[in-house]
């Protein structure tokens, strides 16, 4: 066959070895680089290289033409250049110095030396001192600002895993929603279209609805006039209305009534919110259009309106909590836009907030509705302090690692609905941190009025990234979706009283206990290093209030390096 005949006429192979590093051989990966010759038969060449590695620098192959030179010099796997290497060194990731900083995206330094990676001021860009002469802004500064209590209420950070449902979903979690009145009910949607209803106090009381949607559940909202029913928007192009008591679901709208007509015609619904004043559900699709659905007649109210760049995905919708006629949208055209629903037509936005990348989410603040928080794929949280002020540029930009990754649910920073000062925000972090030898991805609590990192919440068991987070409307509880798992966090004191009282209060579902124990070695989990995690790992995360921020460098000695 062909390989044989080729072999006969195979040219001379020269293996060029790495000269500047002695410990190059053995277990470390070695990148193979062809410098000339035919690119085809790469399989054969790899064989030659591995054999050539032990001893002979030149391997003769019968009669040849021009010799093939194979370089065994170590190259960076990111930029393919020699002299440095990127990748994990233990639990710490080393950036490629040839690329812009992975965190702030600016050239000239790496994540390790990024000025935004500072212990107590992680991700902070100082708030620009704006001296606007806008009249409304003036009124706000003079008359409204003084009435806002200057002292912030002390918020409590849920920092202890109370219970977790391992592999409750069979695909990654994409959305979470707490029940508005029943304290212990959490809804979760996944990439497969399944919707889970979980009573996280009676942890085994759970229900998974697999017949509501056929793919990604992008957003869920409870019906404001009947909180036994919930709306969900999905990439299958439908908005569902499900009765949680009976499990009966109906479809308010189907954008793909004729089924699959090719990718250019398949419509997906992403952003969704309810407007109780109008009795409508708002949903937006991947082509830039907004739909209004009457919840009583289950029909479309009016025509679809183009609210973002034609053909671009609208990923988020939010009605202002105080003035429901004011709508906030965001999407893949790098904009968040403010609309007045009384005068809603293409191009009629009140304001366009520009971003450098896709905007994953945009939310009004939960109490006054006066602030805006956005999460964008340029690794920045943006805050506008007053929708009545100058919206030309954000009041603050906070550099925070929540990179876009096609395999993860997009990160969305969420307000704490209980914080009257509207400054506490929760958001998962993408970049891992070396916590005593383990690379973990914390969930960050950030004070967006200062940009300060208030707490970073981790658990040695949770090694995956946690992009989906939601804070409870009344209790000090955080719900997290990480890959296929759900987690409920509480302040340490409270979690102590929760049943069952196993060591870590982790509840397993189905066969996952075996896998989990195989991975983590049962009770004695971490074997990292002397001061490592293990049961002592609990100490890692016992910082519950903002007053402990300063202590963080002591509790995380490694962070001092940055």
Partner DNA sequence: ATGCTATGCATCC
Partner DNA sequence: TGGATGCCCTAGCA
> Rule CB under 7 A: which residues touch DNA?
78, 86, 88, 93, 95-96, 99-100, 102, 111, 167, 191, 313, 332, 334, 357-358, 377, 404-408, 430-432, 439, 441, 463-465, 482-485, 515
Tell me how crowded residue 351 is: count the other CB atoms within 10 A of its CB.
Answer: 15
Instruction: Please provide residue 114's backbone torsions phi and psi, each rounded to the nearest 5 degrees.
Output: -65, 130
| Complex with DNA: residue 368 or 463, whichever CB lies closer | 463
Q: Minimum Å distance from CB 68 to DNA?
A: 21
Q: Minimum Å distance from CB 129 to DNA?
A: 30
Cα 2–chain centre separation: 49
Give the separation between CA 59 and CA 452, rounded to whole angstroms. Answer: 59
| Complex with DNA: residue 133 or 518, whichever CB lies closer | 518
| Complex with DNA: residue 111 or 320, whichever CB lies closer | 111
Give the separation between CA 40 and CA 36, rounded to whole angstroms. Answer: 11
Give the separation between CA 114 and CA 101, rounded to whole angstroms. Answer: 7
| Complex with DNA: residue 95 or 285, whichever CB lies closer | 95
The strand pairing partners of 299, in sequence order, are 294
| Complex with DNA: residue 217 or 341, whichever CB lies closer | 217
The residues near 250 (Cβ < 8 Å, ≥ 6 apart) are 240, 241, 242, 298
Structure tokens at 455: 């707490």
What is the DSSP code string of 472-534?
-SSSS-EEEEETTEEEEEE-HHHHHTSSS--SS--B--TTHHHHHHHHHTTTS-----TT--G
Residue 183 burial (CB < 10 Å; 0-12/13-18/19+)?
middle
The DSSP element (H or E) to which 304 belongs, if any, is none
Q: Minimum Å distance from CB 298 to DNA?
A: 28
Contact 288, 272 (CB under 8 A): no
| Complex with DNA: residue 386 or 480, whichever CB lies closer | 480
Q: Minimum Å distance from CB 506 to DNA?
A: 14
The strand pairing partners of 397, in sequence order, are 382
Q: Minimum Å distance from CB 405 to DNA?
A: 5
The residues near 504 (Cβ < 8 Å, ≥ 6 apart) are 161, 461
| Complex with DNA: residue 10 or 556, whichever CB lies closer | 556
| Complex with DNA: residue 416 or 433, whichever CB lies closer | 433
Contact 237, 218 (CB under 8 A): no
Q: Minimum Å distance from CB 269 to DNA?
A: 13
Structure tokens at 151: 């002292």
Q: Minimum Å distance from CB 4 to DNA?
A: 23
Q: Minimum Å distance from CB 513 to DNA?
A: 13
């Amino acid at each position: 066959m062909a390989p044989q005949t080729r072999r006969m006429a195979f040219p001379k192979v020269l293996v060029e070895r790495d000269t500047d590093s002695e410990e190059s051989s053995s277990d470390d990966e070695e990148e193979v680089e062809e410098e000339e010759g035919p690119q085809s038969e790469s399989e054969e060449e790899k064989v030659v290289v591995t054999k050539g590695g032990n001893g002979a620098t030149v391997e003769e192959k019968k009669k040849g033409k021009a010799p093939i030179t194979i370089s065994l010099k170590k190259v960076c796997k990111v930029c393919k250049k020699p002299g440095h290497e990127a990748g994990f060194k233990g639990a710490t990731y080393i950036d490629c110095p040839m690329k812009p900083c992975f965190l702030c995206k600016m050239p000239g330094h790496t994540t390790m030396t990024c000025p935004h990676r500072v212990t107590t001021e992680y991700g902070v860009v100082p708030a620009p001192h704006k001296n606007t002469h806008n009249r409304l802004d003036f009124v706000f500064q003079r008359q409204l600002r003084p009435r806002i209590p200057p002292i912030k209420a002390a918020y409590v950070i849920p920092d202890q895993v109370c219970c977790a449902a391992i592999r409750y979903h069979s695909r990654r979690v994409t959305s979470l929603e707490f029940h508005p009145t029943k304290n212990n009910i959490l809804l979760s949607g996944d990439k497969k279209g399944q919707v889970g209803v979980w009573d996280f106090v009676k942890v085994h009381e759970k229900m998974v609805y697999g017949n509501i949607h056929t793919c990604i559940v992008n957003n869920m909202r409870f019906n404001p006039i009947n909180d036994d029913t919930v709306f969900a928007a999905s990439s299958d192009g439908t908005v569902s209305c499900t009765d949680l008591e009976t499990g009966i679901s109906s479809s308010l709208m189907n954008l793909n009534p004729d089924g699959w007509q090719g990718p250019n015609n398949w419509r997906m619904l992403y952003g969704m919110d309810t407007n109780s004043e109008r009795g409508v559900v708002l949903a937006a699709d991947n082509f830039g259009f907004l739909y209004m659905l009457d919840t009583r007649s289950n029909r479309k109210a009016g025509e679809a309106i183009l609210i973002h760049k034609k053909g671009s995905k609208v990923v988020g919708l939010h009605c202002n909590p105080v003035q429901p006629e004011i709508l906030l949208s965001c999407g893949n055209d790098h904009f968040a836009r403010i609309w007045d629903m009384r005068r809603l037509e293409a191009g009629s936005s009140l304001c366009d907030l520009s971003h450098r990348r896709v905007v994953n989410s945009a939310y009004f603040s939960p109490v006054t509705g006066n602030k805006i928080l956005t999460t964008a794929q340029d690794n920045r949280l943006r805050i506008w302090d007053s929708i009545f002020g100058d919206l030309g540029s954000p009041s603050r930009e906070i550099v925070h690692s929540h990179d876009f990754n096609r395999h993860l649910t997009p990160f969305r920073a969420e307000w704490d609905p209980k914080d009257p000062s509207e400054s506490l925000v929760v958001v998962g972090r993408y970049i891992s941190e070396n916590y005593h030898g383990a690379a973990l991805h914390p969930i960050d609590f950030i004070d967006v009025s200062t940009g300060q990192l208030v707490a970073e919440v981790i658990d040695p068991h949770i090694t995956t990234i946690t992009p989906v987070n939601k804070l409870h409307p009344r209790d000090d509880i955080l719900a997290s979706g990480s890959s296929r798992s759900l987690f409920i966090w509480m302040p340490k004191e409270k979690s102590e009283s929760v049943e069952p009282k196993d060591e870590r209060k982790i509840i397993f579902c189905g066969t996952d206990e075996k896998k989990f124990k195989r991975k983590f070695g049962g009770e004695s989990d971490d074997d990292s290093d002397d001061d490592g995690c293990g049961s002592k790992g609990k100490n890692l995360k016992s910082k519950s209030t903002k007053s402990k921020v300063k202590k963080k460098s002591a509790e995380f000695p490694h962070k001092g390096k940055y």
